[in-house]
Structure 1
């Protein structure tokens, strides 16, 4: 029953529209990762950046998505790209989640939801806030070149990798 309620809430939350468009400059951020180290978009100029927002650590869909990105990490890094997962969970939750599934990329803690809001990826239901499952590919100039708002966690990492390769070959 609890999973059905969470699924319904996430469906309601994910039905918001995104105002950020392809061609827009990606909003900068500075957030702590699971190790307490601050990461920012600025530090990755000259690299491609994949930012994926997800609702909650260690839930079925979020775990599937994170593990899919984990399994694709070597291929994504080979394409001169970095991956960030972002949710509203705290650093300690990210640390446990990352360790449990051996995630080789940073999970960023957006506790106040400000970065999620800047990326049109913050949903709320009554007083409950959560990051909406959206993903952005940002080119080395800091411009959003691809966005995903209807994500299938099982197939998403491979879809992102394929699109990253296509985008890079068109530059």
Structure 2
């Protein structure tokens, strides 16, 4: 994973509607990047729905949530609509963002990883789950965020 204290690498990736979104657009805001292996898989769905159900915990902390995986914009659109996800999902089909953040798993998919970036673009927290079959429960993720 990228190291705490480093400048977050810039990226531009398409969202679920195909519109390009750059990290620099969020300058002045805290951003939580959530790298995950894939749309509509059991663990990823549980994870992102858990975050959806508790999204106010992020907004109360002034944090914008952005999910990133190698799935296509169309896959993200269907996934977000099906599960009513209230945050951006970005398509990293070439895995350029996952590579830049050292969040690429051994099977060529994104690891289940989290990167909290401050208002100036500095990494405050970087964490990845060792096993892709589990995810960081909301209370544990928030505890890590609050400690950073």
**In structure 2, distance between residues paired with 1:37 and 1:165:** 32
Identify which of 9, 17, 20 aligns with 1:35.
17
Structure 1 distance, partners of 2:66, 2:73, is 14
Which protein has the bigger helix share? 1
Q: How many residues align?
A: 145
Q: Which has the higher contact order (CA 8 A, sep 6+)?
A: 2
Q: 2:115 aligns with which of 127, 136, 139?
A: 136
- Give the C-alpha shift of residue 124 in structure 1: 4.2
Mapped pair 1:48 → 2:30:
yes
Instruction: Measure, in 2, the Cα distance between the counterparts of 1:166 and 1:21.
Output: 16
Point out where structure 1 has 5 or more consecutive residues left out of the alignment. Answer: 1-17
Displacement of 1:147 after TM fit? Answer: 1.2
Contact 1:72 1:161 in 2 (8 A): no
Which of 42, 64, 68 is equivalent to 1:60?
42
8 Å contact 1:72–1:158 — kept in the other structure?
Answer: no
Large movers: runs of 4+ above 6 Å? none
For 1:1-171, what aligned pairs fall within 5 Å after superposition?
A: 18=1, 20-125=2-107, 129-150=108-129, 152-153=134-135, 155=137, 157-167=138-148
CA RMSD of aligned residues (A): 1.6
**Gapped runs of 5+ residues in structure 2?**
none
CA distance in 1 between partners of 2:59 and 2:21 (Å): 17
TM, length-normalised to structure 2: 0.90
Question: Looking at CA atoms only, which structure, 1 or 2, has the larger radius of gyration?
Answer: 1
Residue pair 2:72, 2:93 contacting (<8 A) in 1 also: yes
Are the aligned partners of 1:50 and 1:136 in contact in 2 as well (CA < 8 Å)?
A: yes
CA contact (8 A) 2:129 2:135 kept: no
